[in-house]
Structure 1
Amino acid sequence: MRYIHTDGGRPRYFYSDISVLNSSQIQILHHIFRHVNIPANAKWKQNGVTIAGGNGDGNTVDQLSSPYGLFVDDDQTVVIADYRNHRIVQWKNGNTTNGQVVAGDKVKGSGLHQLNFPTDVLIDNETDSLIICDYVNRRVVRWSRRSGTTKGEILINNINCYGLSMDEQRYLYVSDDGKHEVRRYQLGEKNGTLVVGGNGQGDGLNQLNEPTYLFVDRQQTVYVSDGNNIRVMKWNTGAKEGIVVAGGQGEGSALTHLYRPLGLFVDALGTLYVADHGNDRVMRWPQGDTKQGAVIVGGNGYGAEANQFSNPWGLSFDRHGNLYVADTNNNRVQRFSIE
């Protein structure tokens, strides 16, 4: 079952991306922000502030069209996979008026200067570049962040790439929602090493059903959004099967359920933050409690008010602990300030 986004209504299928937080530092992909502490009982303001988009569905520099995965750099620059605009856009901290196109052309395509429904993006500071899941083109591409860059280069071909992550050794992890697996690559490597799944499509603990976004922590533990199984899985290094850390009980709106989990975030205490996409809320699940979570923002129905979402998608945090959410059907990114 593939993701389908309908122009006139709500998306039919939903997926997630993942980040991990240390109690004394936030780690978003391979960035480490020191001296940041998010307590287990932290609270965020319930009204979000629009920091990107929010001006309707469109392709001008002040608009987004279905933002998917996002990445917050250490200077609070937000980089967004602008899915239906076939581009990556960058919004600098303090400038909520206009973004800047940093990858992709004006139209979708398969040229090296083009993207075709990108789903995820990360920043590799070592090479000052963007690494992008170019989903419909079935490839992973890299674009330099240097001024004047007009095309990317192909890193991996022939892969149903949906989500990306990079560990501290700069190994790249890629989810393949066609093969129901996650592979690890050295940059420049084409085949990779299987690290999660690979046992066919299914709901067993050694299986995935269209994995999407993912994150790898400092111990190379892989967290995976297991889309069609309505659960979040954790695979320890070298494990032959995963552990269900949220969901897995079918779709629902009770605090014991998820309805298509999206953005994920796990802190050093094991607390899990989940963008519960179909329920239009973000939830927190304490470590060891896979039965029930608590709503931290949203949960006020499907809508466009400051305290509402219309299918939240990507999740990330800045170095201050503020929460960023890609509010997909509202074509905006919302920031919720930590209290």
Structure 2
Amino acid sequence: MSAISPCARWNIVGTTIAGTGTAGNGSNQLDYPEGLFIHKPTNTLYVVDSFNSRIQSFLLDQSSNISTIVIPNLRYPSRIYVDDGENVSTIYATDSYPLYCGVQWVVGAPSGVSLGDKFSSCRGISIDKEKSVFLTDWLLDILIKESPGMNDSIVIAGKPKECNSTSKHFCGPNGIFVDQTSGAVYVADTWNNRIQKWLKNAQEGITVAGSSNGSYGHDAASLYSPQDVFVDIDTSVLYIADGYNGRIQR
């Protein structure tokens, strides 16, 4: 069962658990943190420290907020996913380079493996139960899949360089969530102001939040530049980072 009740109400007063409130590159500082992932088995918070070009980790059960750099020397990381292997965790992160747009990095390894070759503007990243990697290319308006052992990425949704609001298109696809049971992929279709659900092997998406025609709004049924999406599979509840509306929608 999910630990989050669909009737939950969030405490609007937050507590700082990472960073100091002032941008910097010290071991206890962050500079424009853009993505995060909580690894429950080790109670570790992983943070995409974008302007410092690194991935930081913070132990949630200690009083200090001193971090460990787990991936250094990236270019401009933005999203992250952490997966458990048999003995060690693997980090998947988007990055922006001319010839690839993501990295796969085993925790503790001296270097990683590039993902999304030939693409350069990925914003969302996740994996499915078969360890295939899914990436969204923000500028090409597509969803990419890279299967284990393959040396190339394939486009599985969207039309390259066709920003459009039809059910077969994206316009600025951003954060994603993969349902590990069904294989469905949820995409924050940012400039279409909606969340699209793509069933496995589908030819078009289904609008599950926001407007199907791409229009934005400020009411409870609308979105305005959604940035990311998380799905509580146990309750089928979506949590959406509704960018220009400055809120988290459920």
Name the TM-score, length of structure 1 as normaliser: 0.65
Letter in 1 for 2:121: E
C-alpha separation between the residues in 1 aligned to 2:110 and 2:248? 34
Equivalent residue for 2:54? 139
Q: 2:193 pairs with 256, 267, 280, which one?
A: 280
1:65-214 to 2 correspondences below 5 Å: 75-76=3-4, 93-160=8-75, 161-169=77-85, 170-179=89-98, 180-194=100-114, 196-198=115-117, 207-214=118-125
- Once the 2 structures are TM-superposed, how far is the Cα of residue 234 of structure 1 from its aligned partner? 0.8
Letter in 2 for 1:76: I
Native 8 Å contact 1:251 1:258 kept in 2: yes
- Once the 2 structures are TM-superposed, how far is the Cα of residue 174 of structure 1 from its aligned partner? 2.1
Over residues 86-135 of structure 1, what are the superposed CA-to-partner deviations in whole Å (9 max), with x where a residue is unaligned?
Answer: xxxxxxx5334322222111121111221111111001223211011100
SS in structure 2 of the partner of residue 255 of structure 1? coil
Native 8 Å contact 2:192 2:225 kept in 1: yes
Q: 1:310 pairs with 221, 224, 246, which one?
A: 224
- Once the 2 structures are TM-superposed, how far is the Cα of residue 193 of structure 1 from its aligned partner? 2.5
SS in structure 1 of the partner of residue 16 of structure 2? strand
Assess, with a 3 A threshold, how the Cα gap between structure 1 residues 282 and 197 changes in structure 2: closer, same or farther.
Answer: closer
Equivalent residue for 2:170? 258
1:317-336 to 2 correspondences below 5 Å: 317-318=231-232, 319-335=234-250
Q: Following TM superposition, where does structure 1 have runs of at least 4 consecutive aligned residues deviating by more than 4 angstroms?
A: none
C-alpha separation between the residues in 2 aligned to 1:189 and 1:242? 24
Equivalent residue for 1:225? 136
Higher RCO (CA 8 Å, separation ≥ 6 residues): 1
SS in structure 1 of the partner of residue 244 of structure 2? helix
Equivalent residue for 1:56? none
Native 8 Å contact 1:166 1:216 kept in 2: no
Letter in 2 for 1:285: W
Over residues 256-315 of structure 1, what are the superposed CA-to-partner deviations in whole Å (9 max), with x where a residue is unaligned?
Answer: 22111123233344433222110111122333233x322221117322211111111111
SS in structure 2 of the partner of residue 130 of structure 1? strand
Over residues 48-81 of structure 1, what are the superposed CA-to-partner deviations in whole Å (9 max), with x where a residue is unaligned?
Answer: xxxxxxxxxxxxxxxxxxxxxxxxxx6339xxxx
| Residue 245, structure 1, aligned to residue 152, structure 2 | no
Native 8 Å contact 2:128 2:183 kept in 1: no
Native 8 Å contact 1:155 1:190 kept in 2: no
Over residues 125-182 of structure 1, what are the superposed CA-to-partner deviations in whole Å (9 max), with x where a residue is unaligned?
Answer: 2321101110000011111112522321211211022221122312112222125232
RMSD of aligned C-alpha atoms?
A: 2.1
Gaps of 5+ in 2: none
Native 8 Å contact 2:116 2:135 kept in 1: no
Letter in 2 for 1:197: G
Number of equivalent positions: 238
Native 8 Å contact 2:175 2:188 kept in 1: yes
C-alpha separation between the residues in 2 aligned to 1:197 and 1:297? 28
Native 8 Å contact 1:212 1:227 kept in 2: yes
Sequence identity (%): 26
Q: 2:208 pairs with 296, 314, 320, which one?
A: 296
Letter in 2 for 1:227: W
Name the TM-score, length of structure 2 as normaliser: 0.86
Name the stretch that deviates more: 325-334 or 245-254.
245-254
C-alpha separation between the residues in 2 aligned to 1:156 and 1:109? 17
Gaps of 5+ in 1: 1-33, 35-73, 78-92, 199-206
Over residues 229-271 of structure 1, what are the superposed CA-to-partner deviations in whole Å (9 max), with x where a residue is unaligned?
Answer: 1101111101122221211241012222211112323334443
Native 8 Å contact 2:189 2:195 kept in 1: yes
